[in-house]
Structure 1
Amino acid sequence: MTHSEILQKVDWKDLRKLSTKEMLIENNLTIPWFFASCALAYYHYYVLALPFSAFFFLTSLRQVHNGFHNSLGTNKFLTWFSLFSNSILMIVSIHAVKFNHLRHHKYCLSEKDQEGKSAHMSWFGAIFYGPVHMFLIHQITLKEGNRNYKKNVLAELAAVIVFASAVFYFQIHFLIYHIVVMVIGEFLMAFFAVWTVHHDTEENPSMARTQRSEWKNRLTFGMFYHLEHHLFPAVPTIKLPELAKRIDEAIPDLQKKKTF
């Protein structure tokens, strides 16, 4: 079944709109995890802080991912601010990630898809490729992005440098911990955010992997409904469980590969 045929069979357009409650959730999901991880790290409970840091990284990824597709329910400036502020906290230029992610949707798993490169590798190859992946998405955006993308990438990188320099200069130990964990998270992106959802799907790139286990989707904040996201990228993450249900009802025989 083609992508266009699936679009015709599934009722999805109403899912693009967020209620006020849903908008507040999508735009503030990161806050408790960030403060909890920083509080625990402040008192040197680094091991206890790690899962909170991981959930902060995951929820930040969810937030900016919705921002890439204008699905946060906010205006243009607030969406930009979400990407910019998360750049500082995630220690990466989120606009560089956005540029490559939108190209990933357009050229999925083809030669022009830098984000999708690790999907063609082994799982351990994708892990080792992680640092190269993060360098290349910045390089490609600065080379091929338009003036606005380049301006945002440079501004975000400058803000990250200022933030990190201040943290290390003043030896703010709990923020040093945060920076180190975020860098490790960024280096694992090629594996967790690309390989897990796209490996062995080259024969039909738009049919990414997905997850149907309720507890696994709750644990991962719905970030592994990736088939649904590629078929309907305008649908916010908070609506993906409902979208998955509609797809299963409308096309019960649709072949789906699991993420994990």
Structure 2
Amino acid sequence: MNHLELIRKVEWKDLRNLSVKEMLIENNISLPWFFISMVLAYHGYYWLALPFSGFYFLTALRQVHNGFHNALGTGKSLTWLSLYLNSILMMTSIHAVKFNHIRHHKFCLSEEDYEGKSASMKWYEAILYGPKHMFLIHWITFKKANKQYKRNMMIELISIAAFMFTVFYFQIHFLMYHMFIMLFGEFLMAFFAVWTVHHDTHENPSIARTQRGSWKNKITFSMFYHMEHHLFPAVPTIKLPELAERIDKALPDLEKKETF
């Protein structure tokens, strides 16, 4: 059964719609984790802040990922603002990540899929590849993107540089901590966001890995419903558990590889 045949068997279009509550959740899900981590870091409790920083990174990734696919329930201006602000806080150009992610969906695991390069590596190779992955994401945007993507990337990179200069010039230690943790998270993206969900799926790239089990999906904020996302990228993350149930019901014999 090919990609289009799979899509035809599942009702999904109604899941694109968000209620006001769901829209507020998707647009603000990262904020509690960010503020808790900053308060703890400000008072010098860096080890206590660390898990909250990790959850901020994960939920901010969920937020911008929905933004890539216009699935935040907001207009273009607010979606752009979300990507821009998270660029500064996550220490990378999110519009550069968006450009490569959209290509990832179009050219999934092919030579033109620069985001997906680490999927064919060993797990430890994907971790070591992380810094190169982040450089490549920006370089490919510079080489292949249109003027609007390039302009957005430059605005974000200049803003990040200004943020870094301010933090180090005024020796704001809790923000230094935040920046280093975010950079560490970015260097793990080739492993965390690509390898974990795509390794050993080259024979059918559209059927990415997925995750079942409520506690696993709760602690990962539903970010590992990746097969569901690749089949129906317009569905917001908050609706992926329901989408997974529909897929399991409509396609009970579909072979699924779990993320962990």
| TM exceeding 0.5 | yes
Paired residue type of 1:35: F
Deviations 1:58-94 (A, max 9, x none): 0000000000000000000000000000000000000
Equivalent residue number for residue 252 of structure 1: 252
Equivalent residue number for residue 86 of structure 2: 86
In 2, the alpha carbon distance for the partners of 1:202 and 1:193 equals 16
Residue 2 of structure 1: CA displacement? 1.0
Equivalent residue number for residue 184 of structure 1: 184
In 2, the alpha carbon distance for the partners of 1:174 and 1:31 equals 17
Give the ranges of 4+ consecutive aligned residues of structure 1 lying more than 3 Å apart after TM superposition: none
Equivalent residue number for residue 146 of structure 1: 146
Equivalent residue number for residue 226 of structure 1: 226
Paired residue type of 1:125: E
Q: What SS is found at the alignment partner of 2:252?
A: coil
Equivalent residue number for residue 136 of structure 1: 136
In 2, the alpha carbon distance for the partners of 1:119 and 1:21 equals 36
Which residues in structure 2 correspond to 1:1-260 (within 5 Å)?
Answer: 1-260=1-260
Q: TM-score normalised to the size of structure 1?
A: 1.00
Q: TM-score normalised to the size of structure 2?
A: 1.00
In 2, the alpha carbon distance for the partners of 1:104 and 1:31 equals 28
In 1, the alpha carbon distance for the partners of 2:36 and 2:174 equals 11
In 2, the alpha carbon distance for the partners of 1:249 and 1:207 equals 17
In 2, the alpha carbon distance for the partners of 1:6 and 1:143 equals 35
Question: What are the ranges of 5 or more consecutive residues in structure 1 without an aligned counterpart?
Answer: none
In 2, the alpha carbon distance for the partners of 1:144 and 1:118 equals 20
Paired residue type of 1:34: F
Deviations 1:134-186 (A, max 9, x none): 00000000111000000000000000000011001101110000000000000
Paired residue type of 2:97: V
Q: Identity percentage over the alignment?
A: 71
- What is the RMSD computed on CA atoms of the aligned residues? 0.4
In 2, the alpha carbon distance for the partners of 1:205 and 1:159 equals 36
Deviations 1:176-200 (A, max 9, x none): 0000000000000000000000000
Residue 7 of structure 1: CA displacement? 0.9
In 1, the alpha carbon distance for the partners of 2:7 and 2:197 equals 21
Deviations 1:188-235 (A, max 9, x none): 000000000000000000000000011000000000000000000000
In 1, the alpha carbon distance for the partners of 2:43 and 2:73 equals 36
Q: What SS is found at the alignment partner of 1:113?
A: coil
Q: What SS is found at the alignment partner of 1:205?
A: coil
Q: What SS is found at the alignment partner of 1:201?
A: coil
Residue 237 of structure 1: CA displacement? 0.1
Residue 131 of structure 1: CA displacement? 0.1
Question: What are the ranges of 5 or more consecutive residues in structure 2 without an aligned counterpart?
Answer: none
Paired residue type of 1:121: M
In 1, the alpha carbon distance for the partners of 2:155 and 2:54 equals 26
Paired residue type of 1:107: F
In 1, the alpha carbon distance for the partners of 2:187 and 2:7 equals 35
Paired residue type of 1:20: V
In 1, the alpha carbon distance for the partners of 2:56 and 2:83 equals 15
In 1, the alpha carbon distance for the partners of 2:198 and 2:7 equals 20
In 2, the alpha carbon distance for the partners of 1:146 and 1:194 equals 24
Paired residue type of 2:25: I
